[in-house]
Amino acid sequence: MFNRRKFLGSSLLASSGLFLRTSPAKILPQAGSPLVISTWDFGKAANQAAWEILGKNGRALDAVEAGVMVPEADPNNHSVGYGGLPDRDGHVTLDACIMDEKSNCGSVMCLEFIVHPISVARMVMEKTPHVVLTGEGALEFALANGFKKENLLTPESEKIWREWLKNSKYEPVINIENKKYSFAENQMAPGGPFNHDTIGMLAMDSRGDLCGACTTSGMAFKMHGRVGDSPIIGAGLFVDNEIGSATSTGVGEEVIRIVGSHLVVEFMRQGFEPREACRRAVERIVKRDPKKAMDLQVGFLAMRKDGRYGAFCIQKGFTYAVHSNTEDKIYQSESWFS
């Protein structure tokens, strides 16, 4: 439940100035009024699926699972699930995690042949004593529980990979998620096409409970076995039902180093607004290696227990989608570099 004493503490921080660096005031849903937010433009369709559940007083956990299943099944989304770009050896390997209001969590890493890794992650959470299953073990578990083995490498993704093999140059392209490349344009994209990314989704249901989900095919053309931030609880996703939740997108290695989503939630615990909490996490990454940060994209998205939300990223261009009783919109995140 929402902790009144802690939140009064936060109000004191507000009067002492810690809340001052905030995004412009908006009409916000109140605690207990359903809300879902997710990364990138493709979050809008995912939010719609989540809203089908949240709007009928459904559970946030069911909403985030149903929401992220939309991009997972979309062959035109080359950074999540089916149709995701493969690793450098041609394997589509998926990472996903889910976390509920009681800090239960489940994760799969480097899972092949399953269209909905988020549902396998949920099953790890609900049907095993473990939090994480990886690779072969995760696949065996999925198949034993009725998931179907499918080829996730679509003809278009395979074509892009074969084109990439000609130079085999790995160079992440900033904000590639939002670039609507045709196949021909895609071939000319600097450093190769569609290099990463992720859907991270955070929801609050009508009981005021918070849950989150995060799923990705990870960096395109990564080394076989590479795992990013997305399936790592605390890095790609973190939920604390007393305080708030956070998720990340972008170059996972940088997020893992600072345990980014957990850090954002801890900043909110200290009384910072969601946008400021995200900005402080970005600052950690930028200050660690300012030169490297100039060519990196990482974005954080956060929701606080009172329904306030915010985002911050390194490079301009990160967008996030919001759906509540009062809005269904895509916002541009503020960025470190303008």
Catalytic residues: 198
CB of 184 to ligand GLY, least distance (A): 26
Site for ligand GLY in 222-251 (CB under 6 A): 228-230, 249-251
Q: Does 87 bind ligand GLY (CB under 6 A)?
A: no
Which of residues 197, 205, 276, 306 is near ligand GLY by CB under 6 A? 197
Q: Does 218 bind ligand GLY (CB under 6 A)?
A: yes
Q: Does 324 bind ligand GLY (CB under 6 A)?
A: no
CB of 65 or CB of 229, closer to ligand GLY? 229
Q: Does 77 bind ligand GLY (CB under 6 A)?
A: no
Three-class SS string for the chain? CCCHHHHHHHHHHHHCCCCCCCCCCCCCCCCCCCEEEEECCCHHHHHHHHHHHHCCCCCHHHHHHHHHHHHHHCCCCCCCCCCCCCCCCCCCCEEEEEECCCCCEEEEEEECCCCCHHHHHHHHHHHCCCCEEEHHHHHHHHHHCCCCCCCCCCHHHHHHHHHHHCCCCCCCCCCHHHCCCCHHHHHHCCCCCCCCCEEEEEEECCCCCEEEEEEECCCCCCCCCCCCCCCCECCCEEEECCCEEEEEEECHHHHHHCCHHHHHHHHHHCCCCHHHHHHHHHHHHHHHCHHHHCCCCEEEEEEECCCCEEEEECCCCCEEEEEECCCEEEEECEECCC
CB of 10 or CB of 77, closer to ligand GLY? 77
CB of 236 to ligand GLY, least distance (A): 6
CB of 35 or CB of 282, closer to ligand GLY? 282
Which of residues 216, 261, 315, 324 is near ligand GLY by CB under 6 A? 216
Q: Which residues bind ligand GLY (CB under 6 A)?
A: 196-198, 216, 218-219, 228-230, 249-252
